[in-house]
Amino acid sequence: MSLPMIGFTALPHVGGILGGFIRRREVYTWYASLKKPSWCPPNGAFPVVWTSLYTGMGYGSYLIWKELGGFTEDAVVPMGLYGLQLALNWASVPLFFGAHSQKWGLIEIVLLDGAIGATMLSWYPINSTASLLLAPYLAWMCYTTAIRYCIWRDNPNKKE
């Protein structure tokens, strides 16, 4: 195992850990008070799912970086899109759970879904495995987007 591989794989977890401090505070108070769809996952599923997703996306970013020879001119778009989706991912928890902003949380997650899709499209010609490592992440985020939409729709008195 190389140091870059470990670093790229670990990087997404940083925002996840920091966001976890915010989410943990709100999950049993504000979030518990919201009407959610019956198909919303239990709270215990989130750490397991996110550990897998962050590891996959991080390792995928390492594969792209390695394939393109580091941070080269060819890496600007694929790694830039990756950075954009990672920043949007990290902003999601503070915006939705921290600020209790259902509307902006929904808008932000739709943008995140698009950024993940764009990242996958930019990665596929470079390394299809790296791109496909993002597929479970995109599927989870589409599921999460549907949940956020239902929360926004079904909690009119809790909207900002």
Contacts 24+ apart (CB under 8 A), 127-132: 127/60, 127/63, 127/64, 127/67, 129/60, 129/63, 130/59, 130/60, 130/61, 130/63, 130/64, 130/67, 131/60
Query: What is the CATH code for 3-34+46-154?
Result: 1.20.1260.100
pLDDT at residue 1, as a whole number: 76
pLDDT of residue 25: 86
Neighbours of 12 (CB within 10 A): 25
58 CB burial (10 A radius; 0-12, 13-18, 19+): buried
**CA 65 – CA 25 distance, rounded (Å):** 36
pLDDT at 160: 52
pLDDT (tens, 9 = 90+) of the chain, 160 residues, equals: 799 999 999 999 999 999 888 888 898 899 999 999 999 999 889 999 999 999 999 999 999 999 999 999 999 999 999 999 999 999 999 999 999 999 999 999 999 999 999 999 999 999 999 999 999 999 999 999 999 999 999 998 655 5
* pLDDT at residue number 27: 87
Q: pLDDT value at position 136?
A: 98
Note the pLDDT of residue 20: 86
152: left (phi over 0), alpha (psi -120 to 50) or beta: alpha
Q: Give residue 51's identity as a one-letter amino acid code.
A: T
